[in-house]
Structure formats: C-alpha cells, structure tokens
A and B are shown apart, each in its own frame.
Chain A
Amino acid sequence: MAAENLVEISGVGYAYDRRHPVLNDINMTIPRGKVVAIMGISGSGKTTLLRLIAGWFSPTQGRIEVDGVPTDKLDRDGLYRMRRKMGMLFQFGALFTDLSVFDNVAFQMREHTDLPEPMIQDLVMMKLHAVGLRGAHNLMPSELSGGMARRVALARAIALDPNLIMYDEPFTGLDPISLGVIRNLVRKLNDALGSTSIVVTHDVQEALDIVDYVYYLSEGVMVAHGTPADMRASKNALVHQFVWGEADGPVAYQYPARDYREELELV
C-alpha cells in the first residue's frame, strides 16, 4: 500500500555556499491528495525548497523522500523517471516561445510516449479544455495574455497526469479575473486528477482560500504551520504580519541603515 504522505522532508538544510544557509532544519509532510501551501516573504527559501523536492539539487543536510524514494540517492535517469510523474508551473509560465499552444502541451507526450498523433490531438484538446483554452490551440505564446499563458502552462504541467503538481508563485502579476481562474483551477485540477499539489506563494488570501494546509517559512526556518484557519488566527507575530499584510512588525519596513539623524548630518 502506498504511504499516506507523498513527500516527506526531515531535517533538511541547504546552502548555496557554506557561509549562507538558505534552509535550516525543515520538517514537513505533504499528504496524498492534499493541496499544501509553502508561504513566506520573498527570499525566505520557498522556491529553493520546491526545487529540492524536484531533485534540482540535493539537500546539504537531512532527507527528502518523494513517493518513498530519497531524491538525493537518485542518478540522472532516476531523477528523470521521478520527474515524469511531476508537473511544475513556473512563475511566468516558461512556455516554449517557438512552439504553438498545442505543441507546448503536446511536448511531453511526444518526448516521452509513443502515442499516435490522433490520440495526442485528443489528449491535448482535453487538457486545454480543462483550462478553458481549447479555442486558443493555434496561437503562439507571444499572442497570449499573462493569465492565458499561465493557464496554458498549467495544461502543459498536467499533460501526463502527474502525481505531484508544483506551483512556483502561480498568482504573481495576474489581473483579478485571471487570478480567480488560476486559483480555482489549482484546487479543481488537484481533485479531478487525484494528485497532490504544493503551492509556493506569498499571495496569502488567494492561497488560504483553496489550500488544506500551510507551512510558513521565514529566513529559511519553518516558523509555523497549520490549517488556513490556524494561520488566520495565529498569534505568531511573523505570521500575523504576513497574513494581514502589515507594513511594520518583526519584518522591518526600513532596510537596515545608519541612524537617520546622522545621515542627514543633524548631529
């Protein structure tokens, strides 16, 4: 029987260079079928954590298991096999600009399967229909709006019905309508495909509406976790400032600087 958690992260630390650790002692579990958010302000290590789960790099400490397999023990072929069961939506879509919408979604099917072209045609249309863009299959990425590009990228991410869908800042830079569409799709696709989703974001309200559980990172350390209701009611000063978008708090408004009076040569 498959384990209850699709992703298990225990005691993970990561540093690009030894003096500046990006992540410290992160412990986290992502249960199957759930939508989990990793939140935190910019530079808190969220995207690094997402890339560690995808096996982009190996943790310098601790262990990450995806579907029971430690990612740092996998060779290149093993990593590629694992990634075929993953889908990732990049912050700005990362569509292949030389391919049409249709070919973008068909990309993985053509690379990894021997499916006949008529079947690929049907599958791509189904995926595009799921994100409401079947009619745009002939367009090039340069002809799409930001929100449409993000939806095409989402259709591409779910092309091979992944077990795990990862979203890197999916709500950034979208108009309110596109944002609502993407937010609902994250939840709907997760439930329809029976997959598991990890959403890395700093868009609090959008995420809290659709996720099952939240992990909050600050400066590479996990400072809080709980359900969206827990986060809204949190007494933790960092979480409170973040959830309610307050300008000043534990995260200071002013970047560290010399004394203001001294700077203006008033003393």
Chain B
Amino acid sequence: MFNRSSSIDVRSVGRHTIDSVLRLGYATRFFALTLLHSGTSFRRPRLIVRELYYSGVLSLIIILVSGLFVGMVLGFQGYQTLKTYGSESALGVLVALSLVRELGPVVSALLFASRAGSAMTAEIGLMKTTEQLSAMEMMAVDPIARVVAPRFWAGLLSMPLLAALFSAMGVYGGYLIGVVLIGVDEGSFWSQMQSAVDFREDVVNGVIKSFVFGIAVTWIALFEGYDAPPTAEGVSGATTRTVVTSSLAILGLDFILTAFMFRGA
C-alpha cells in the first residue's frame, strides 16, 4: 500500500539522489576550473613549491616510518609462508612486488589522505569560514587559481614520490628482517628481486596508480574544503568526509586499475 510515510521515504531517497548527483556535478566543475586556472601556478612555481613542502615534505616522516614497518612485517610473513615451500630465497621478490605493485601506492595514498588531504580540507574550509576566500575574490584574485590549483599540482607531484619512498623503505625493511635478522641469502634476495621485478609491468604501473590516487585524493580534499559549510561543524564534517571518501576512492580505483594492468600477469 502506498501510504504517506512511504511517500516521504521515497521523497527523501529522491532528494538524496538528486543532491548526490548535483554535488558530483559541482565537484566535476570545480575540477575543470582548477585545471583551467592552473596557469598562475605554472607562471609562479613558488606557489607550488610552498605547497609541496606542506603536503609532501611534511608527510615524509609518516610515509617513511610506515613503509619501514610494512616492509618488516612483509619480511616476517613472507618468510614464514615461503619457508613452507622451501623458497625463502624468493623473499626479495615477494617483498618488492607486493610493495611496488600494491602496498606502496595504496598505503601511501591512504596515509597521504589522512595526513595531507585532511590538512588541505581543514585549511581551505577555515579560509572560507574566516572569509579569507571572499576577501581574495573582493581583491579580484581568483581563489581557485591562487589557493586551490597550487595545492592540486603539489599533491599530484608529491604522491608518486611519496609512494616510491614508501616502497624503497619497505624493501629495506624486508631486507633488514629477511637478510639481517633471519639470515636469508643476501645475493639471492637482491638478484631474484632484480630479475623478477619488471620496470614497465611493475614499477611504471605502480607509479601510474599513485598518480591516479594523487589526483583523486587532492581533488576530494580540495573540493570538500571549498564546499564546506562555513561553520566549525561544517569544516569538521568536511575533513572527515575527505578521509572516508578518499580512502574508499583509493581502494575502488585500485581494484579497477589492478584489473586492467595485471590481467595476464
């Protein structure tokens, strides 16, 4: 039976759907405007360099430490499993491929979203709340060109570099546990890794993944900040949404990219 309460439910589902589609439209328009107004950032690279420091350099500690621990755990777990089949010497391959293909891009992007993405959202949201973006508009300076675009390009450039450093630290962590602590043969650890990891298939695909994650995370973080309601509650909600949406986007995109990249491998 179609009664009043069910019609209200249907209406709220409809409203949510329309709101979501509208928001996606705004976000797409925002993305297009960011690309369109990127000229200022390239003419004044100092704007990007400053943001590279905030989103890239300041994320280094968490990325390097996490990379080391993830690599060490891989060393332990990999050794336990490989030992069962008598192929401990393939530990280097296992560690390197896991990191370069998956863990490096994905975990560093998740960390980047929580460290740099949330900071970007909170900063831009607060700039909006304190009318700094309006003041910029009033001074005939486009906030998308001056505030958003440099952060976007900085995020995009930082992400692959951070992922590469994460993987490098991870490989070193695996080496520390596998070779130094457990005593796997050092020669076979490195030589098997060298022969099994393909530059095009593994390294480049990993870099492509981290580029895509970089775009997704910075886009989500910047849009959430720019679109945040100008209240304390609004900014805190936007910051949470950045981390949640970015994390889901990273995992979803990772599945799609992996499905395309490693079909026959």
Contact = CB atoms under 8 A, between A and B. Distances in A.
Interface of A: 54, 56, 79-81, 83-84, 86, 88, 90-92, 94-97, 107-108, 111-112
B192 interface: no
A107 B139 CA distance: 9
A94 B135 CA distance: 6
Contacts of A80: 140, 142
Interface in B120-141: 127, 130-132, 134-141
Nearest to A85: B140
B138 A83 contact: yes
B139 A92 contact: no
Given A94-B134, A97-B130, A107-B139, 13 more contacts: A80-B140, A83-B140, A84-B139, A84-B140, A90-B131, A90-B135, A92-B131, A94-B130, A94-B131, A94-B132, A94-B135, A96-B136, A108-B139
5 contacts: A81-B140, A84-B140, A86-B138, A94-B132, A112-B141
A96 B141 CA distance: 13
B132 A97 contact: yes
A83 B132 CA distance: 16
The 5 residue pairs across chains A and B that have the minimum distance between CB atoms: A80-B140, A94-B131, A94-B135, A83-B140, A88-B138
A237 B139 CA distance: 39
Contacts of A111: 139-141, 146
B140 A96 contact: no
A54 B134 CA distance: 11
Contact of A88 (B132, B135, B141, B146): B135
A54 B138 contact: yes
Main secondary structure of the interface of B (DSSP, over half): helix
A86 B139 CA distance: 8
A50 to B, nearest CB: 10
B140 A90 contact: no
Nearest to B40: A111
A86 B27 CA distance: 31
A112 B140 contact: yes
Contacts of A79: 140
B127, B130, B146, most chain A CB atoms within 10 A: B130
B150 to A, nearest CB: 12
Contacts of A84: 139-140
A96 B138 contact: no
Contact of A91 (B127, B131, B139, B141): B131
Interface in B8-66: none
B141 A108 contact: yes
A111 B146 CA distance: 10
A49 to B, nearest CB: 15
B139 A96 contact: no
B114 to A, nearest CB: 22
B127, B134, B135, B141, most chain A CB atoms within 10 A: B135
